[in-house]
Amino acid sequence: MWDLHTGHCRLTLEGHAGKINDLQLSEDGRLCATAGEDGTVRLWDVRTGACKRVLRGHKAWASSVALVPAADKLVTTSGARLARPELCAAGLRRAFS
């Protein structure tokens, strides 16, 4: 993650085995969700860079991620399939508990 004011790298998210295909920040800026080539979706603490939760459920790479703040959920895709919503919702609820 880059600081737009200074142009310096402020934070590196390390943990995916392969490329990150998509990233989304929460509305409050505390949480970041990434979808990876390794088939996982990861939830990160933006302040510290710590991986708070790893969600598994895709059989192939995870292509996109979207946070749904009003529902306290996230949705991911891999090809033409959606991940199981109950898996994603449970992971998001536990991320900062």
Q: Give residue-wise pLDDT tens across range 13-69.
A: 888 888 989 999 888 888 899 998 888 889 999 899 999 989 887 777 888 888 877
Domain assignment of residue 12, yes or no: no
Paired sense of beta strands 81-82 and 73-78, if any = antiparallel
Count of domains for the chain: 1
Domain assignment of residue 11, yes or no: no
Domain assignment of residue 10, yes or no: no
Domain assignment of residue 39, yes or no: yes
Asked if pLDDT for residue 93 goes beyond 70, the answer is no
Say if CB 22 and CB 13 are below 8 A apart.
Answer: no
The range of the structural domain enclosing residue 87 comes to 20-95
3-state DSSP assignment of residue 8: coil
Domain assignment of residue 78, yes or no: yes
Amino acid making up residue 70: A
pTM for this model (two decimals): 0.76
Say if CB 56 and CB 13 are below 8 A apart.
Answer: no
pLDDT grade for 85, boundaries at 50, 70 and 90: low
Angle at 14 between CA 87 and CA 4, to 5 degrees: 105
